Amino acid sequence: MFPFGVDYYPEHWPEERWPRDARLMHEARINVVRLAEFAWSRLEPEEGRFDFDWLDRAIDVLAGHGIRVILGTPTASMPPWLASKHPDVFMTLQDGKRRTYGNRRNYCPTSETYRLYSRRITQAMAEHYADNPHVIGWQTDNELGGQTGGCYCEACREDFGRWLQERYGSLDKLNEQWGAVFWSHVYNTWSEIPAPLESGSSPNPGLALDWKRFASDAYVDFQQEQIDILRELSPQKFITHNLMGFRFDQLNYFDLAEPLDFVGYDIYVRMQWTIENEVDPSLAALGHDTMRGLKRQNHWVIEQQSGSGGWEIVSVAPRPGELRLWAYQSIAHGADGIIFFRWRTARWGTEQYWHGVLDHHGEPGRRYSEIQQMGHEIHVLGDLIQGSEVRAEVAILHHYDTRWAFQIQQNNPSFSYAEHVKQIYRGFYRQNVPVDVVHPATELSGFKIVVAPALYVLPGEVADNLQQYVQGGGTLLITARSGVKDEANAVVEQPLPGLLAPIAGVAVEEYDSLPSWKSNGLAFEAPGLEGETLESAIWADVLTPTTAEVVARYTREYYAGRPAITLNHAGAGRVLYAGTLAGSELFTRLARWLLELASIEPLLETPHGVEATARWKNGRRLLFLLNHNESSATVTLDHDYRNLLREGAVVSGNVSLAPYEVMILQ
Ligand code: GLA
Ligand code: ZN
């Protein structure tokens, strides 16, 4: 059964209401709910006194309608008794101020005290629900790492010292790799090493990157403690966590996902923070492809938008059809479960305006009908979809060390690693070419094209991996600021792109960091592109080819006429080096060129705003067409299909998609 559900907070509503909620859910074909991830003060009202009765009763009511349950460990928001007894559990922000009670996600992940309480509630829940047949799985905590910049307290600093000791073994090695001699920062003891507090000003980049790794590990360890307990005491149930896609950049999500059975994803396509912006469906698509890439396996959506978002500001209302469209987009990108956040809009609390399937008043309305429609559709089609896989011939490498190193040193004030990746991703997305977003050390031979955007921190094993991929016949695109740093965040000794120079067949002779009001022209001369001109921005590597051919040259500044983009043949493969970091048309154009070079066919050509994706099962393909436009759009099909959302009606030739319409074609 395809998991289709809602996040539900029975503790927000009188118990007399629960049966009606369960009945309405059932009538929308909801078969799973997530519960309890913010219910600590109801589950452990006082230290050591656990109360599961109410939750048992809620689960029974839901089970009476065939609805199964995922339970969240409630550690993302601590109860007041814990906070007042142990003020040291609060996180300290980078400015040195300790957080205080009143919100959530405010604990220090290394705090021994907090970890003790977190293990205790996890253990009590695991024991109590291990044999409950209606509880099918666990969610650890909630959006680990979110809403803050991490903890900088003294306990964390001490832990950082231990972490460094493990990583470097000796202070001599640490001092050498960080180049601590610069400004005389040579450390004699581990305890001298500071946290990169604001009061310390711009830190040593080596220290700063290790701190980010350490801070990520702290959450990974925190989660692991819960997972160990759940695996031991409740081995029959799956464990997941709700992550935040490509958007969130504080934790190494590859590490966080590793011990999970599958990745959960919270996707809000239209947030209240971006009320002025148009929805950009490519960002949701990138989020899904990133989540699917963490374990190279299908994921679930644990929170799918069910209404306007809102804390202080209320976001634009989802247009009729959008919620369903977005949920199908999740499925089209590999989601094997959809859970809407949330069932009913809360009357209280910070998220009063984060709208659920039902409004505050609790009566079914437009959004309920839309989700009910989808529930019925999924009831029919779910088995066909579930377990089918997205197949991508293009991979984009996502590297957290690099992302963090750019947070530490932006290089150019207009540069954002995330924006750079998005721009490259869109180049493929717009042409309906599926993409996997994967770890740089992953096996790449299955991909026809690999893109390594600005791979700034380049571990030797990643360089080897890329070299092997190219030698074996792969097509690799790398961009400026690749291979600049070693793993200690020191600049490498060889000419750029460092360890990638041999396969790129090029050396960066010098570079120019461009102000936001300047760009440079590119004149193309490679076959297939000759005569074209485009603008590039942010960064200009001036290239000296060793074995590479010139693809494009700059047209302005003192380096006019010098190579900007090159193509090198290495082994059975080739490397395209783009010595620039932006250009709104540039990466779309380069993607199209690479697709031709690597003989990759788009799934289908579609008009602007209509997305095509596919999932495969048993050699059969499901083609998803998603019209993100508020107007109808016409798509020309490549042959006859059956439209599974219209009882298998045959469609062919030019088909019109209504605003926000979805087609699943077989
Ligand atoms: C996140 C959280 C939820 C809720 C929603 C809406 O994804 O996991 O608890 O806060 O956002 O803000
Ligand atoms: Zn701390």
Do 610-665 and 394-597 have the same topology in CATH? no
Q: Is the CB of 266 under 6 A from ligand 1?
A: yes
**With 80 as the cut, is the pLDDT of residue 583 above it?**
yes
**With 80 as the cut, is the pLDDT of residue 149 above it?**
no
Which SS3 state, helix, strand or coil, does residue 549 take? strand
And the tokens for 612?
């095509």
Helix, strand, coil shares of the chain as percentages rounded to 5?
35, 25, 45
Closest atom of ligand 1 to 354 CA is 6
pTM over 0.95: yes
Q: Which of 103, 351, 353 is the best mutation target for the ligand 1 pocket, counting ligand atoms within 8 Å of the beta carbon and taking the most?
A: 351
Query: Phi and psi of 541, rounded to 5°?
Result: -80, 130
The residues pairing with 656 across neighbouring beta strands, listed in sequence order, are 634
Which ligand has the minimum distance to the alpha carbon of residue 77?
Answer: 1
**With 90 as the cut, is the pLDDT of residue 70 above it?**
yes
**Pairwise CA distance, residues 29 & 596, whole Å:** 45
**Alpha-carbon dihedral of residues 175, 178, 179, 180, nearest 10 degrees?**
-50
Mean residue pLDDT of the chain comes to 97
Average pLDDT over residues 126-136: 98
Other Cβ atoms less than 10 A from the Cβ of 515: the count is: 11
Peptide bond into 19 cis (omega under 30): no
Percent of the chain whose predicted confidence (pLDDT) is above 90: 97
Instruction: For domain 610-665, give the CATH number.
Output: 2.60.40.1180
Q: Is the CB of 341 under 6 A from ligand 1?
A: yes
Which SS3 state, helix, strand or coil, does residue 296 take? coil
Model confidence band, residue 273 (pLDDT cutoffs 50, 70, 90):
confident
Average pLDDT over residues 376-385: 98
Through-space distance between the first and last CA atoms of the chain, rounded to whole angstroms: 20
Instruction: Tell me the residue type at 335.
Output: A
Pairing relation of β-strands 68-72 and 135-139? Answer: parallel
Closest by Cα among 359, 332, 341, 356 to 304: 341
Q: How high is the pLDDT of residue 275? A: 83
And the tokens for 528?
């297939």
Domain ranges of the chain: 4-79+116-149+213-385, 155-200, 394-597, 610-665
Q: Is the CB of 142 under 6 A from ligand 1?
A: yes
- For 188-232, what is each residue's pLDDT tens digit? 999 999 999 999 999 999 999 999 999 999 999 999 999 999 999
And the tokens for 71?
């339970």
Task: Pick the residue whose CA is nearest to atom 6 on ligand 1.
Answer: 354
Query: Phi and psi of 570, rounded to 5°?
Result: -140, 125
Q: How high is the pLDDT of residue 561? A: 98
Q: Is the CB of 401 under 6 A from ligand 1?
A: no
Closest atom of ligand 1 to 38 CA is 9
Q: Choose the CATH number for 4-79+116-149+213-385 among 3.10.105.10, 3.40.50.2000, 3.40.50.300, 3.20.20.80.
A: 3.20.20.80
**With 80 as the cut, is the pLDDT of residue 146 above it?**
no
CATH architecture of the domain covering 394-597:
3-Layer(aba) Sandwich (3.40)
**Alpha-carbon dihedral of residues 499, 502, 506, 507, nearest 10 degrees?**
40
Which SS3 state, helix, strand or coil, does residue 335 take? strand
Catalytic residue list: 143, 303
- For 502-542, what is each residue's pLDDT tens digit? 999 999 999 999 999 999 999 999 999 999 999 999 999 99
Percent of the chain whose predicted confidence (pLDDT) is above 70: 100
Q: How high is the pLDDT of residue 276? A: 85
- For 548-577, what is each residue's pLDDT tens digit? 999 999 999 999 999 999 999 999 999 999
**With 80 as the cut, is the pLDDT of residue 274 above it?**
no
**Pairwise CA distance, residues 185 & 193, whole Å:** 9
Closest by Cα among 325, 359, 356 to 340: 356
- For 598-655, what is each residue's pLDDT tens digit? 999 999 999 999 999 999 999 999 999 999 999 999 999 999 999 999 999 999 999 9
